[in-house]
Amino acid sequence: MIIKLDTTKCLSCGLCESLAPTVFTLKTGIVTLIPNQENLTPKEQEQARTAASSCPSEVISITE
């Protein structure tokens, strides 16, 4: 799984962080990935997919 972010479209709504708190953070005010995304558990991968499909700005894209 490869997660990419288009931070230019980020509204900082926090939905991604609330759906996948161990994958995404908004500490900088804009969504960022928590390091080591290549080691995500199956649960974290599913949370990331949910966050991607729920993002109102379509900031998150995932390639399997």
**pLDDT per residue as tens, the chain (64 positions):** 999 999 999 999 999 999 999 999 998 889 999 888 789 999 999 999 999 999 999 999 999 8
Which of 19, 9, 24, 11 shows the shortest CA–CA distance to 50? 19
**In the chain, what are the domain boundaries?**
2-63
CA distance 63 to 45: 11
pTM metric for this prediction? 0.91
CA distance 12 to 37: 20
User: What's the CATH number for 2-63?
Assistant: 3.30.70.20
Phi, psi (deg, nearest 5) at residue 18: -75, -30
What separation in angstroms does the CA of 37 have from each of 11, 16, 17, 25? 22, 15, 14, 13
